[in-house]
Structure 1
Amino acid sequence: MLDSLFEFIEASPSPYHAAASAADRLSAAGLLEAGRSEDWSELDLAVGLTVRDGGTVVAARAGPDVDPEQLRFSVIGAHTDSPNLRLRPQPDTGALGYRQLGVEIYGGVLLNSWLDRDLGLSGRLVVQDGTDSATGAGPETVLWRCDRALLRVPQLAIHLDRDVNDGLKLDRQQHMTPVWGLGEPSADGFRSFLAEELAVVPDAVLAWDVMAHDLTPPARLGRNGEMYAAGRIDNLASCHAAVEALAGLSAVPDNTAAVVVLFDHEEIGSDSATGASSPILADALERIAAALGADRSQYLRAVARSLCVSADGAHAVHPNYPERHEPQHLPALNGGPVIKTNANVRYATDARTSARFAAACDTAGVPHQIYSHRGNLPCGSTIGPITASRLGMSVVDVGSPMLSMHSARELGGSDDPAMLTAALGAFLADG
């Protein structure tokens, strides 16, 4: 399972690549890919469908016998995006003989973790068809990645900042601009670089959504390989587990539609056309219900009897900072999936949904853990509360424990991906 996760992470340097990787895996499992604007009514949902839009994927399979009066959804939600450095629309900048690329900080980045790393670039490009933008051919959106060591954010030497080890302070605008060459910056240097990469004229490169990614590959870590390190564990580990659970499902229970949704833009609040705050999941569920013969009333009743597992990274107890954790809730690496709770509903778990996921873990034969955030620290959130409030659906927030969350390179337990996948698979199989 860990090798499969490593392959998924390596294939997914951006959320757009992650969505494509997930869709490819689901297609290999037999699910049919469709578009959001296509008619789904004639699709065989027993075979399954996959819908991809940018960095977001919705996939579903239905049981062989669905009575619209008894329909329910078993939903697994996760997100494809991770905190990183994203290139500006006019990125070319520089000073003092250095060529640099302007970036914006995306999400809650641990800024220091991006210093002194060899960085590649990836994302999506909008390109005029053909080699000449004057031909009148329509634009095309393409995935693109460059795994050469293109960028680096060099840290200031200690000789020039003797107090750095007493507290590093980084200005997002001034200190995080990566270098990518020597000489005077060109106004269209980056556009010209993309044109060379694609073998088109510079004017054919119309726009981009491009971000940096660490080039260090995933690796087992520790004396016995009991841990693993990689970029984007939050939240590609959950995406991978959700996709594997749905793809490996031998049969969907009667009266059930098993659904996986991988959203983009969770790290910045989910307020986008393909984020959890959008109608994309509600619309998909209603269209799936309609394809299964349910009317609007039957769909709404199906939502009321359904459950969503919101899968996202969970905080493992940190050996160097035990005072930052609630002392009665200390999840451990390789301790099994974590059920995340918060009285102020930063996580959407309640007693009923917690018990249901614990039962799925029992069915899968894996242990589970409980997380509660320390009371004197602000708690993060997930797509769970958003899904619950948008749909009125019961939700449980879960995830595999990890350290270094939101670092350019994070740390997990080697046994946890398989355990999360097994628990999610049991949840889908039991309905």
Structure 2
Amino acid sequence: MSELRDDEPLIRYADVEEAAEQLTDETVVKRTPVERSTSLGELVDAEVYLKMEHLQWTGSFKTRGAYNKISRAVDAGADEFVAASAGNHAQGVALAATRCGADSTIVMPKHAPQAKIDATRGYGATVELVGQDFQEAMEYAQSYAAEQDVEFVHAYDDPHIVAGQGTLGIEMYEDCPDVDTVIVPIGGGGLISGIATALNHLSPETRVVGVQAEGAATVHESLDKGLPVTLDEVDTIADGIATGGISELTLNLIETHVDEVVTVTDTQIANAILLLLERAKQVVEGAAAASVAALLSEELDVHGETVMPLLCGGNLDMTMLQTVLIHALTERGQILRLRVKINDIPGKMNVISGIIAEHGANIQTVRHDRAVEELEVGEAYLVFQIETSGAEHAASIIEALESEGYAVEDVNQKTTNN
């Protein structure tokens, strides 16, 4: 990379251009499509274009930075690499190293999704599972690199990584030169740092908005304190942005080039995953859906704009998908859990089931609860899990049961309130 003046940020647009020249092999990194989403546009009264980076090789943007870093290091004589990752960086490093004829060892947290572990091995890496979170995996990987004297590939704290991710910013601008706002997920900050560096040069009037998961948010506090803040633990379904910290490099670039940073909850992310499945027919992971969650949130006003959320990854573990769908459908009222107090006599379940059936709902499960301290002798609870068409349908079922004299408790609502 070219020498910088003391008053310049650690990467410039020229570095992103150089990275783009490294990434000309479409079998390593391909140009991903942009698609207009009329359904999302109607929801926010804007022109919405989705940048479909989840369709990238390895299912994530990470190969861009990894290949830019590793190909240069191999040219300089390196032949072995180690990295720490929750999943997507792992696959990017594995693919890049293999394509460059080098060996790679990837350290992943013990709870990393199995699909990402299998994929990383499939791209040619040796995988070691260490620690309960990304930070523990990172510490081990850095120690391994020092002890074995191999090249460490950081997920975001590296100018070549950031410049490689910034090639997405070039594509986003070329695909939609008139874009008013881009929305980019933030984990360690390498992705948004690179994209913002590119857009600041190509289209300085474009607003760059970052989004973090509430359970892994560090940027606001880092900006306030003027130094990177690291969380002791993170709690989010968006494992791709669950780094729990940013670096001095990315903090500097975020402060210099990013206009706004918002946070979203796991519920908002889950709802966005489901919405993208339904409306855009796209399967994305939590980190990618965070950009759409931000788009739909009250924190961000895009009325009348042309806006581009970045779908940065599609490596969604099927177990997580099941969890997300149940959560999102419950939030919508399409999965309804009711507790109905009854006199425990023959036929009561049949009567209540008949009322539910008359209202066009399907009972998934039902159980008797008799051993509950608050119940009198001869009383019981029937606990139903019911499929409905939504909140209005759910409310009509509750109303019908109550009109027949039954005491009904919406278990979902009680759980939400607690």
TM-score (norm: length of structure 2): 0.26
Structure with the largest fraction of strand: 1
Task: Choose between structure 1 and 2 for higher RCO, CA contacts under 8 A separated by at least 6 residues.
Answer: 1
* Structure possessing the higher radius of gyration over alpha carbons: 2
